[in-house]
Amino acid sequence: MKKPTQTYLLLLGFLLISAFGFSQSKKQKELEERRQALRTEIKQINELLFQGKTKQKSQISLIEDMNYRVNVRKNLIQVTNQQANLLTREINDNQNKISQLRDELEALKASYASMIETSYKSKSEQSRVMFLLSSTNFKQAYKRIQYLNQYASYQKEQGESIKSKTTELQQTNTDLLRQKVDKQKLIDENRSAQRELEKELVQHRNLMASITKNLTSYTSQIQKKQNEAEKIDREIEKIIREAIAASNKKAGKTTTASSGFALTPESAALAKDFVSNKGKLLWPVEKGVVKVRFGKQPHPVVKSVTIQSNGVRIATEKNAQVRAIFNGEVLRIISSKNGNPTLLIQHGNYISAYSNMAKIYVNKGDKVTTKQAVGEVFTNPANGETMLNFSIFKETKTVNPAEWIYRM
């Protein structure tokens, strides 16, 4: 009989092995989800940024798009490698498990064969009766009856154990074959992705060489775009401050530098719902890829230039419908002489801003609902780009849309 400490150690070992297997399976699932998301992203990049548009684009826009696609493909290759490496570990684990199961099965079969042989030699009813009659007293006879019953039960358990181990061995073998097929698919896909990446890197290097010759001109273009974005941001902040002042005045409060919206019970409930949906909010367009992310960052091409993005720039398809990300009320429509209009929708003390619109379907004061089409994104006829500038404000401060929009 095993000592209690040994039993505990064996149980602990089993639990650790089970937990490790579960952890690997969970990690493999997470990696597969990430890989599929990256594949979808590359497909959308090709559809939205490259199909029939490369001849129209300026070199700076084209290199931005190539840079983006190269980075996503590198991520795809990295994730696929991680999956293949994890599968290699799982394959090794299953090969070790198969060896262990075979050894256990052989030992069970040998033990069972010996038991059957012993049972055969003493199977006659006369032998069983003589075994019982040779007891010295009733207590010994009772114990011998118990022994015979336990022996028969043990035989049955051994048979079931052999059946169970055989099934487990067959299943592990099936899993091993599937894992080997999955691993080969990943290897083949990665080779294909690597070939595509090498082609893209050649194009990327050639374009970068051309851009380097005209760096001053491109830096000027980038700065001009930055100035235009900052002008729109200042206008949005001005409008929000005016709205805050108006809400406080209506509530009979004095507006200070740190004042926020004086919310009605209805607006407060809306803001609470908006916050409770953080990370689950709808994308403002049905199909899109984020070309420029939130925050201070080096320009994706001209690294010496720093840009400040108070929102995200989403490339989408021509005639793309803009959707309200949540229930709210149209705060304002900003018109611009030199640019395209911006739509502001208020969600309590949060505001979502949609810039570079071609058409707007709503008016100031209109109530809108989640997923309602509120306008259309402008398509630049010069380069074929359809780009939505999207921001989220809490009062007058911008927040990162990627933390609020589902899987952005």
The 10s digit of each residue's pLDDT in 259-307 is 899 999 999 999 999 999 999 999 999 999 999 999 999 987 788 888 9
- The CATH number of whichever domain residue 394 belongs to comes to 2.70.70.10
**Assigned domain for 222 exists:** no
Q: Is a pLDDT exceeding 90 seen at residue 241?
A: yes
3-state secondary structure of 53: coil
Tokens 């028969």 correspond to 152
Listed ranges 20-34, 204-218, 315-329; the one with the highest mean pLDDT? 315-329
Which of 376-392 are b and which e, b meaning 16 or more Cβ less than 10 Å from the residue's Cβ? bbbbeeeebbbbbbbbb
Residues 156 and 23 in one domain: yes
Residues 11 and 81 in one domain: yes
**C-beta neighbour count of 317 within 10 angstroms:** 17
Look up residue 282 and give its DSSP letter: P
**C-beta neighbour count of 345 within 10 angstroms:** 24
- Band the pLDDT of 129: cuts 50, 70, 90: low
The predicted pLDDT at position 375 comes to 98
The predicted pLDDT at position 3 comes to 47
Residues 280 and 157 in one domain: no
* Cα–Cα distance for residue pair 400/136, rounded to 1 Å: 88
The predicted pLDDT at position 338 comes to 74
**Assigned domain for 294 exists:** yes
Q: What percent of the chain has pLDDT over 70?
A: 84
Q: Is a pLDDT exceeding 90 seen at residue 402?
A: yes
* Cα–Cα distance for residue pair 352/332, rounded to 1 Å: 11
Kind plus residue range of the DSSP H or E element containing 352: strand 350-355
**Assigned domain for 223 exists:** no
The predicted pLDDT at position 1 comes to 44
Q: Is a pLDDT exceeding 50 seen at residue 10?
A: no
Contact 349, 261 (CB under 8 A): yes
Residues 52 and 88 in one domain: yes
- Band the pLDDT of 212: cuts 50, 70, 90: confident
Q: Which of 10-24, 165-179, 376-390 has the lowest mean pLDDT?
A: 10-24
Mean per-residue pLDDT, 230-245: 93
* Cα–Cα distance for residue pair 190/76, rounded to 1 Å: 8
Which comes out higher in pLDDT, residue 180 or 336? Answer: 180
The predicted pLDDT at position 223 comes to 87
Q: How many residues does the chain have?
A: 408
Domain span holding position 355: 228-403
In degrees, rounded to 5, the angle at the alpha carbon of residue 264 between the alpha carbons of residues 263 and 267 is 75
3-state secondary structure of 279: coil
* Cα–Cα distance for residue pair 397/288, rounded to 1 Å: 25
Q: What average pLDDT is seen over the chain?
A: 85
Residues 202 and 85 in one domain: yes
Residues 260 and 137 in one domain: no
The predicted pLDDT at position 133 comes to 62
Residues 118 and 73 in one domain: yes
* Cα–Cα distance for residue pair 15/293, rounded to 1 Å: 43
Q: Is a pLDDT exceeding 80 seen at residue 56?
A: no
Q: Is a pLDDT exceeding 70 seen at residue 235?
A: yes
Residues 151 and 261 in one domain: no
Residues 232 and 209 in one domain: no
The predicted pLDDT at position 2 comes to 44
* Cα–Cα distance for residue pair 352/55, rounded to 1 Å: 34
**Assigned domain for 219 exists:** no
Residues 278 and 160 in one domain: no
Q: Is a pLDDT exceeding 90 seen at residue 193?
A: yes
Residues 240 and 109 in one domain: no
Question: Could you say which of 172, 190, 213 is where a domain stops?
Answer: 213
Contact 399, 273 (CB under 8 A): no
Kind plus residue range of the DSSP H or E element containing 377: strand 373-377
**Assigned domain for 221 exists:** no
Kind plus residue range of the DSSP H or E element containing 360: strand 357-360
Question: Could you say which of 213, 238, 261 is where a domain stops?
Answer: 213
Residues 251 and 373 in one domain: yes
**Assigned domain for 144 exists:** yes
Kind plus residue range of the DSSP H or E element containing 388: strand 387-394
Contact 379, 386 (CB under 8 A): yes
What are the strands, taking DSSP E only, across 210-249?
none
**Assigned domain for 220 exists:** no
CA proximity to 330, closest of 356, 314, 354 = 354
What are the strands, taking DSSP E only, across 191-349?
289-292, 295-298, 306-309, 312-315, 321-323, 328-334, 342-347
CA proximity to 308, closest of 379, 226, 396 = 226
CA dist list (Å): 106 to 36, 100, 169, 174, 254: 43, 10, 12, 20, 86
The predicted pLDDT at position 60 comes to 79
Give the tens place of pLDDT for each residue, 316-358.
999 999 999 999 999 999 997 777 999 999 999 999 999 999 9
CA dist list (Å): 173 to 89, 105, 179, 182: 15, 14, 10, 14
**Assigned domain for 408 exists:** no
| Count of structural domains within the chain | 2
Residue type, position 122, single letter: S
Question: Could you say which of 166, 188, 213 is where a domain stops?
Answer: 213
**C-beta neighbour count of 12 within 10 angstroms:** 10
Which comes out higher in pLDDT, residue 15 or 397? Answer: 397
CA proximity to 407, closest of 296, 282, 277 = 282
